[in-house]
Structure 1
Amino acid sequence: MENTKVLAFGEVLWDFIEGYKHFGGAPVNFAAHMVQCGREASIVTAVGTDKLGDQAVEEMIKLGVGQDFVQRNSHLTGRVMVFLEEGQPTYRIRNDVAYDYIEQSGIDTAKLSEYGAFYFGTLAQRNPESKAAMDFIMARGSFNTIFYDVNLRRDAYTKEVIESSFGYCTIAKMNDEEVRVLSSLLYEAEMSQDDFTVRLLVDYPNIDLLIITGGGQGCVIRTRSEHYKVSAKMMLVKDSVGAGDAFCAAFLNAYLRTRDARKSARIGNMVGGFVVSESGAIPIYPEKFRRKIEVLSAG
């Protein structure tokens, strides 16, 4: 698993924060962080033929994210208004944009076989066309590891999408607030974190590992044989946009090498902490930090 290539699926967009635009979207943030961790990563997405689409392609090239599955269509490139309060983001997400229309006919199935790990979230499955493309990849890919970053956005998910997503993944990551939302949605009752994670592992035998993040408090890991907390170092927060995506990338990069969830979570917490201490969702890692990630992630 040392050299496994990772394929992400989902939204590419521009965040407009306090009058400035920033390139982003959880899947492309994830892929960019994965590249900075030293692993090859590509994304299945769609951007418009507009100026923001051109700029998005340029950004992906600059970040080293693979272009084999990037589609262009006549819809507007995705965009989001982000409002920060004490460093925490809230989002107003535009509907009916390019990433809602990812076409399965544009996916090269021969190239899917080059990828051993897959990452996806919930937002890009809100439209039937992109959801069908996601299902198409799941039917034709041969991924050993499938990472579902729940990443709920208001009015952008259904019970059916959540259930099918849990049915696909081998690893799922959510935050403590999402546990409450998901337990009410799936089981019609707000459940404790312990009860919910145990229930998920019973109902979805494909899932090997659950990650519950708690921001600066670190994360909780539940596997089929273990349950423990991995604490994080407290950091001075500039903004938290992209921190969860960085955590996912660093965790998965280390996990693919080591299959050690505790060690991988420590590395994920470290990289997420670095991102919250910097501005923007994809800050450039200093060379010394990259080397530290490489050494810590070694199998």
Structure 2
Amino acid sequence: MHRTRAMHIVCAGHINWDVRLHVDRLPTPGDEGLIERRHESGGGSAANVAVGLAELGEDAHLLGAAGDDERGSEATARLEEAGVEPHVRIAEAPTTVKYVLVNGAGEVALLGTDGANESFGADDLPAGTLDTAGALHLTGQRPETAAELARRAPADAVVSFDPGRRGADRAYDAVFEHVDVLLVNEKEAQTLDVDVPVTVTKLGAEGARWSGPAGVVESGGIDVGAVADTTGAGDAFAAGFLTVWLDEREPARALGVGNACGALAVGEEGPDANLSWERIESMLDR
């Protein structure tokens, strides 16, 4: 089902504090929505993927930054409790806060503060952290930091990159030169025109698509019934996909496990999907 020996995987990017506001509807300009409940937790794409990898048995490390404040301490504690080894730069700026509006269908809209999450630079990389890494997973962060980390990764390490919503707005050309696996959603795939060995397109409820040297492989979505919250579903997918891909290089199996992880995430409130191989296999049996 999966390897017995954990792989050393380094994730790099944002550590956030998420404030989720569950609303009756996502307001349009001039409109007003009603906040039905509020939930707070650690977040950030890199942090979410690292947590998912650790839950799946990998030796997950995280490179990022947080403020010297309660939110930063709690976000770091979340990582440690999941089994992630955090390498966190404590910045002068406060921990970045993301306000996530979630409607009854699980659709989201985001607002954010700048904060500390891009304070981590390549010079903050602890000695030896990347030396034995089998993989480096980069997420949306300062392009120069992502590019330098990719350059420092071992020659045989797999470099994956999920640039996120701002991928088309930032100068990531130097990063793409090192990328082995690009993870994007369907909208992002339409705005990015890059040449990388493998592109994985997340299609939400429709599943996912792998495009690589062997052609195109598709895996359908999994019916989850009621959706609680889509926050972090793409990150859960990435954790599941990478865990299998790094071990087996089998697109169909990797996509299926990724889809199962994403399906588990949308059934949970917040970004933590509470992944386990038992739950994944049960989801795949549907």
Q: Which residue of 2 aligns with 1:231?
A: 220
Q: Which residue of 1 aligns with 2:126?
A: 108
Task: Report the Cα offset of residue 159 of structure 1.
Answer: 4.6
Aligned-pair identity (%): 20
What secondary structure is seen at the aligned counterpart in 2 of 1:81? Answer: strand
Q: 1:1-299 to 2 correspondence within 5 Å?
A: 3-18=6-21, 19-67=38-86, 69-85=87-103, 86-95=105-114, 97-122=115-140, 124-125=141-142, 131-142=143-154, 144-153=157-166, 158-161=169-172, 163-183=173-193, 200=194, 204=195, 207-236=196-225, 237-285=227-275, 288-289=278-279, 292=281
Partner Cα distance (2:276, 2:74) in 1: 25
Structure 2 unmatched ranges of 5 or more: 22-37
Q: Which residue of 1 aligns with 2:29?
A: none
What secondary structure is seen at the aligned counterpart in 1 of 2:258? Answer: helix
Partner Cα distance (2:68, 2:144) in 1: 22
Structure 1 unmatched ranges of 5 or more: 126-130, 184-199
Partner Cα distance (1:16, 1:111) in 2: 31
Q: Which amino acid aligns with 2:204?
A: G
Say if 2:20 and 2:99, in contact at 8 Å, map to a contact too.
Answer: yes
What secondary structure is seen at the aligned counterpart in 2 of 1:216? Answer: helix
Q: Which is richer in helix? A: 1
TM-score (norm 2): 0.84
What secondary structure is seen at the aligned counterpart in 1 of 2:171? Answer: helix
RMSD: 2.2
Q: Structure 1 pair 285/105, CA: closer, same or farther in 2 (3 Å)?
A: closer
Task: Report the Cα offset of residue 50 of structure 1.
Answer: 1.4
TM-score (norm 1): 0.81
Partner Cα distance (1:276, 1:33) in 2: 14
Q: Structure 1 pair 23/136, CA: closer, same or farther in 2 (3 Å)?
A: same
Q: Structure 1 pair 91/235, CA: closer, same or farther in 2 (3 Å)?
A: same
Partner Cα distance (1:148, 1:49) in 2: 28
Q: Which residue of 1 aligns with 2:32?
A: none
